[in-house]
Structure 1
Amino acid sequence: MDENKALADKLAPLCKDLAQQVEALRTATDGPLDLDSKTRSSIVKVAQDIIHASRPPYAQFSDHYVIFSETAVQRTFLKWDAFDKIPLEGSISFADLAAAIDADVFLTSRMVRMLISTGFLLEPEKNHVAHTPRSSIFVTDKGFSALMKINLYDEFVKPLAKPEYFETYGRKEPVDKAHSPYAFGVGAPGKTIWEIWQSRPGMMATFIQGMKGANGFMNIHGVYDFSWIATEGAKHSPERVLLIDVGGGSGHTLKYILSTVPELPKSQCMLQDLPVVVDAAEKANDPELEGVQFLGMDFHASQPVQGALVYYIQRCLHDYDDDESKKILQHIADVMAADSKLLIGEMVLAPDSPPFFYGVDLHMMAVSGKERSVEDWEMIVASVGLRIEKIHFGTSLSVVECVKV
């Protein structure tokens, strides 16, 4: 048929391109855990083009059925700790798995079959189930598992599927943290996500663990060279703070920076966050943070340290709308010295960014936050009297380097 010939003509160059991309992987330098390495992203993009070209438009109906059904089972199995009951080596029978999670064997079998059909789990022998690399990470990496729990069984995305929110609040970008799509979707309008989670036993602990999991693949590793801070800092008084990690949580990014620049004096580095967060980080007595200054503060209020060489803020501004982000940055800009720099570690959206980036953006929309493009960052930075000197692009997070105008 002519349609088949036309499809074959369309697929042939795509398949050739895919073969070339796969061959390029042999000499690629991308790390194995890079979330969206250029080499792997190219392979995935071509493979998706082949799939989309091969399937008729009506196949979207069945595709959505599969995605939603797989997600529903994953959500339920995470809630039941079912993945932990499947051995990392070997397999378990459907019946034994059902007994382990205190569920009916017929129900368990139907759910397991869904995940086997998508390749998420394996059936090495009849009515037995085993892990794949995709499923075993739910067991071996508790940070990742916690992250998935936040996104799956806490119904983080569901609110965005509620057109009723936009009919109630208007068809416009959400900006009110207390009247976000998330708050509306879970039946708690008037409360921020933090207030909602604090009322749920264990939810904040899951969130903290989940963020540790996210830091494993959403980070600035290798993106920015921090060594200049130590070199430049040596020219200044030992009393000057050289690096402040603003809103730095437990200090995971600060620890990374210190590990890559061992000559950077810890005594001239500072971890800032809310008092309760910083207090917990200090009491943890992490040897990697020994000697670092700890300061409890709120970045919505005035920045207490003036004239630091570098102010670094990572994955904080995407929680907020533009106006609130400007206020946060203004507090920093107000105390920067002429030679100070502001470094912002965030996603930077581009027209060719992978779908994951835009998925994260919609996740942030659920809590009235957003990811931003180069133009967005230029606008926000300029509004507080700064300019972008350079954007250091990474495979997940980038570093926006800013100086005073």
Structure 2
Amino acid sequence: MAMGRPYDLIVFGASGFTGQFVVEEVARVASEADLLRPLTWAVAGRNRAKLEEVLERASSALGNPELKSKVYIIICDVNDQLSLAAMCQQGFVILNCVGPYRFFGEPVVKACVENGTHCVDISGEPQFLEGMQLKYDSQAAEKGVYVIGSCGFDSIPADMGVLYTRNQLKGTLTSVESFLLIQTGPEGATFHDGTWQSAIHGLSDQDNLRKLRRQLGYKPLPIIGAKLRRRGSVFYSNTMNQYAIPFMGSDASVVKRTQRYLHENLQESPVQYGAYAAIGGIGSVILLMVAGFFFWCLTKCRLGRKLLIKYPEFFSSGFFTKQGPTKKQMAGTSFSMTFFGEGYQEGQDPQQGGPSVKICTQVKGPEPGYVATPVAMVQAAVTILWEHKSLPNRGGVYSPGAAFSKTTLTERLNKHGIEFSVISKPEA
């Protein structure tokens, strides 16, 4: 890794909807008194005026009038490889906020790898994440570069939550199911339509994802202990006291990549995982099934996808908008992710008999998309910066759990509002 670069962190896409909140979070962390040394950082994007506006808003929000004059602006375009290279050569870690990543992510990964710069993103798109692993893992290893995707709400709570659950159990954790619950205030909750677009393209391109996984040559992970049963498309959860559905995000695929890495490279026992979302009562089930059916149908043709992208608010019943959530909506929204794990006591053979111990843990935090995601992304970047020796021995393209399993990322998140806790575990 080249030394002597002027900036520890560079926020690329800082003027985007999510990028502006990442800028605020970097500024907040840079002002903390317990840093090992002062944190140097810059913002990057296509439009200087918009970047200046973002710094002005962050300065106002944080009550730091000097912020705008102290943070350097880098003009960079994702379609200009020379400008990307110039940006990468100035930073130690790039925080890439330019999505959808399936369209705009690879040029950034390529520039980072070629110029010896670490990279984190907040992609929840399995095809992009696994495609980058296939294409750039070996080259990143040669360069000593860490490319770590899905470092936002997708999928740090799930991935690090499974590892946290494993570490809290005295014995062998063999399976975990997680249930996501989004709590909203009187203003409700909305998300920016960038997430909506990623979902549309991802659902319409499932065949190519399967082809990609065949190219990666994944071998089935061994099943340790009792096999985790597959849930239906809609089911009633007695533990959550409401109906639930399989979570449609990238959590399951990211956790599986982590478990594969830990098993194949560190000889750790793999954990089976199921990701679900709690949705409420029977009325929510009916509404979701009808909406989901029409959404799925529309993603299967070009005209349908165009309509979905053009009118996100209409087709999502106001859940996704081009404006994104208001400050009141974000302030009133939070999430919890509850993990129910099963395993075997120390000294017990997991291949003999059923699970003998259970554990319940939880990760909870503020609004997931634009409060928790910037916190997770910035702490991931800071962990690369301060705990470089605790990362995997070789560079490469990693999931969060694979990269950060030996670091203090969980403790860092706890200090910044994303809390990991044990709800119940077997008595000693």
TM-score w.r.t. length of structure 2: 0.23
Between Structure 1 and Structure 2, whose CA radius of gyration is higher?
A: 1
Relative contact order, CA 8 A, sep 6+: which one is greater? 2
Larger strand percent: 2
Larger helix percent: 1
